[in-house]
Amino acid sequence: MNTPPESARRPDDGLAQNAFRGGLLEQVQGLPEAWREALSAPHLQSILGKLDAMLEQRLAQGAQIFPLRPFRALIEIPPEDVQIVIVGQDPYHGPNQAQGLAFSVPDFCPTPPSLRNMFKELALEYGEPAAPQRNSLVRWARQGVLLLNTSLTVEAHQPASHARQGWEHVTDALIMRVLREPRPKVLLLWGSHAQARQALLETQPAHGPVHVLRANHPSPLSALRPPRPFIGCGHFQAANEWLQTHGEAGVDWMLARTPAAAPGYGG
């Protein structure tokens, strides 16, 4: 991957607050034990080492990479507390957007189109909220929603720039770790990248009940298209109804505030 020439760089390419600053392996070592163990297999350690080297090389070449903490989603929730897994593609590639949680941006950011469609679907299912939804989805993560992208890093203004670099093996291992838990769980698979993860259920049968719901990606390019339009899919209510029939509380999708303190990019 070549460094873009100066003429191709945008005027907002100064170091963003949420820019990755290196030290991927150190971040892995700082993960909670259950997640760290999920990444301990030799082949995964080799992949993480190659990702670390790739990221350091791109930083040295002047690339700006997001987010600051690629594993943020794992900090918010241990595998045994996961009720729902939502799989995205890769982080937002604009400065000061990606938080390390799929689809989520800080509240001060404009609402990205995919997240706007998620809020539109929620309004269809639950009615319009009294106040606008907050863009930070930390409140969902702390209720048991694992917001995991397939690739955990991206370069500024270059969507999918770190796809097929090894991240998919890492994130698949994290999903498989969740599947080892006996707790009932729902997989919300939106779009082809996410739906490819369903094959993991054949690789490693789940230890507890699993319900899979599939639809198109919430992006405006696909949200209304067949065969499974995202708008009108009813997934948020359907996930809760299934969880509640299996003795779980489900998620308050319309919760207005984040439980406990909610730092922006790196806390």
Alpha carbon distance 209, 179 (integer Å): 9
The tokens describing 137, both together, are: 């989805």
Alpha carbon distance 75, 79 (integer Å): 10
User: Taking the mean position of all CA atoms in its chain, how far away is CA 96?
Assistant: 16
150 contacts 164 by C-beta, under 8 angstroms:
no
Q: Which of 117, 120, 189 is nearest to 150 (CA)?
A: 189
Reply yes or no on whether 172 is catalytic.
Answer: no
DSSP for 174-212, written as a single string: HHHHHHTS-S-EEEEEESHHHHGGGGHHHHS--SS-EEE
Give SS3 for 38.
Answer: helix
Q: Are strands 154-155 and 65-66 parallel, antiparallel or unpaired?
A: antiparallel
Residue position matching structure tokens 């080492």 = 49
Question: Positive or negative, the Cα torsion across 153, 154, 159, 164?
Answer: negative
The tokens describing 134, both together, are: 């907050």
Alpha carbon distance 150, 167 (integer Å): 7
The tokens describing 60, both together, are: 């040295």
Looking at 12, 90, 172, 252, which residue is catalytic? 90
Q: Which are the catalytic amino acids?
A: 90
